[in-house]
Amino acid sequence: MVANRTLTVSENGTLLPFLLTALSTMGRNKVKSLLTHGQVMVNDQVVTRHDHPLVQGQTVSILAMRKVSSDDLDGVQILFEDDDVLVIDKPAGLLSMGTDTEKEHTAYRILSDYMRMKNPKSRIFIVHRLDRDTSGVMMFAKRESVQQKLQNAWKDVVVERAYLAVVEGRVQQDTGTIISWLKESKTLIMYISRKEGDGQKAITHYEVLHRTGEYSLLKVQLETGRKNQIRVQMQSIGHPVVGDDRYGAIKDPLGRLGLHASVLSFHHPTTDKVMRFETDFPSAFLRVFSYDQKASVTIKS
């Protein structure tokens, strides 16, 4: 297991050549394994791509802890873990936490079992949720005090929450903002109130990354975090998320909901350092747009 190290970039370049030079006593395959297992961070962001660009003055950290394989945790991948928080990439189809009808097969249960394997007294605390059929970055707290600190100051703690959404139809505007007031029906379905101020205010910003005749790929950023916010608001502008028959979709080219939490950036609850985690494009999303590599789609920051 590699000891924690922090390196400073002395000249512009790309990540793998930099690591091969800085870690010259290690073999090439071992260095590449560090990237594969999420053990390399650039300016506090976990990076797995070999060709990630580096700029002079950036810091590159080598983490001692290997990312746990998704095979070990029913598809859940641990992106980062320290004494305070645990950041994961949740697969589509997995509940964040238990419901009246399903208590066992959840991210919360899987991670609780993982923690207890290391220490029987360990616990895990949910900070925020993703819908069952939404994949992507989630954060858990490892102490109740950390959970409360994060939840009580969530708007200040979170720097960025970005999603990738595949929606039906060709979205004409390159960028847009949706502002609406959301309410929940007796059947637990969210809907938009026609009366301003009636319900919870929801603000969503989107940018079109790619279009075809049938579908659009969007980068979506949340200014507020309401239940089913993206799903109900995309329906409201006539472009429901694919695979989302609950909110008006009639097409399912992915075999899953076309929504992925791609970026979560936040102030660490103890150090206050800004941490940023970005996950790969789900391969199904790329197939819809005839891309062979995730690098073919560029998300503008």
Task: List the catalytic residues.
Answer: 131
Residue 211 sits at φ, ψ, to 5 deg, of -135, 150
What type of residue is 137?
V
What tokens does 266 get?
Answer: 């936040």
- Cβ(78)–Cβ(137) below 8 Å: no
CA–CA separation, 150 vs 42, rounded Å?
A: 24
CA–CA separation, 123 vs 125, rounded Å?
A: 7
CA–CA separation, 163 vs 141, rounded Å?
A: 22
Could you tell me the maximum CA-CA distance found in the chain, to the nearest angstrom?
Answer: 66
| DSSP letter (8 states) at residue 2 | P
Helix ranges (DSSP H) in the chain: 15-22, 28-36, 107-118, 144-152, 154-157, 229-236, 283-288
